[in-house]
């Protein structure tokens, strides 16, 4: 997705593990900023510059070992998204943000997804006498049942798509709700929360013996 964004214009944010910005474009940011890797680049975009992907450079992120760790990471990031939109309201103004479509479709709508799902479920229950909404309600019940079935299977070596996909989808939406609660509770932390990695594991990852997901850096400062 970021590759496509970069080809069209600019990416909405960067990879925090590795990115660069021109010195003259850097602006000091509040010390409690959670997503510096989004705020700094979008401010460069506001000045008329581009944020582009550099596919030849690589950084390696250790994947979350448990669902709880993944939930904690995602909730922190999503709390940062709520913080970002609360402080940088121009991002939601199509007259001021030339990346408005990408911003809304790739970031803002994700935050609203739990609300949409709740409204859909409530509407389906209220109108369940209709055959159409009864079918929609049944589909939701089956989907959430599959997600619940994924709880005891997390960490299993083999993945079952019909269970894994609903489980991950619900986990991400739970992280959105948790992130919102962190934000309104003033608990959005600027410190990156990660588990400790044994030296041997870090060495294997750096040496290429494991296959962690690569993150391509992005560069802010091209017109």
Q: Is residue 213 part of a domain?
A: yes
Using the 8-state DSSP alphabet, how is residue 13 labeled? S
**Whether 90 and 149 share a structural domain:** yes
**Whether 56 and 75 share a structural domain:** no
| Domain count across the chain | 2
**Whether 171 and 207 share a structural domain:** no
* pLDDT per residue as tens digits for the range 39-67: 999 999 999 999 888 888 788 877 776 77
Which helix (H) or strand (E) element contains residue 146?
helix 131-149
**Whether 76 and 168 share a structural domain:** yes
Neighbouring C-beta atoms of residue 57, cutoff 10 Å: 16
pTM above 0.85, yes or no: no
Q: Is 35 helix (H, G, I), strand (E, B) or coil?
A: coil
Read off the pLDDT of each residue in 74-96 and give the average, rounded to a whole number. 95
Q: Is residue 118 part of a domain?
A: yes
**Whether 49 and 81 share a structural domain:** no
6/65 Cα distance (integer angstroms)? 31
**Whether 165 and 179 share a structural domain:** yes
**Whether 124 and 205 share a structural domain:** no
**Whether 76 and 130 share a structural domain:** yes
* pLDDT per residue as tens digits for the range 122-166: 999 999 999 999 999 999 999 999 999 987 776 655 677 888 899
Among 131, 135, 133, 111, which Cα is nearest to 122's?
Answer: 133
What is the pLDDT at residue 78? 95
Which residue range(s) make up the domain with 187?
65-94+109-194
């Amino acid at each position: 997705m970021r590759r496509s964004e970069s080809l069209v214009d600019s990416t909405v944010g960067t990879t925090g593990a590795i990115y660069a910005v021109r010195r003259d474009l850097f602006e000091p940011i509040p010390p409690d900023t959670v997503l510096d890797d989004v705020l700094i680049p979008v401010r460069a975009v506001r000045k008329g510059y581009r944020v582009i992907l550099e596919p030849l450079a690589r950084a390696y992120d250790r994947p979350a070992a448990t669902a709880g760790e993944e939930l904690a990471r995602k909730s922190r990031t999503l709390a940062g998204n709520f913080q970002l939109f609360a402080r940088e309201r121009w991002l939601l103004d199509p007259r001021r943000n030339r990346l408005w479509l990408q911003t809304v479709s790739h970031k803002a709508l994700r935050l609203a997804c739990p609300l949409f799902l709740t409204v859909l479920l409530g509407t389906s229950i209220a109108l369940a006498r209709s055959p159409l909404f009864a079918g929609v309600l049944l589909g939701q019940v089956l989907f959430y049942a599959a997600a619940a079935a994924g709880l005891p299977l997390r960490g299993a070596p083999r993945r079952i798509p019909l269970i894994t996909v609903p489980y991950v989808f619900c986990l991400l939406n739970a992280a959105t709700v948790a992130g919102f609660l962190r934000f309104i509770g003033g608990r959005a932390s600027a410190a990156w929360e990660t588990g400790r990695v044994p030296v041997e594991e870090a060495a294997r990852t750096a040496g290429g013996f494991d296959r962690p997901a690569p993150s391509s850096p992005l560069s802010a400062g091209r017109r």
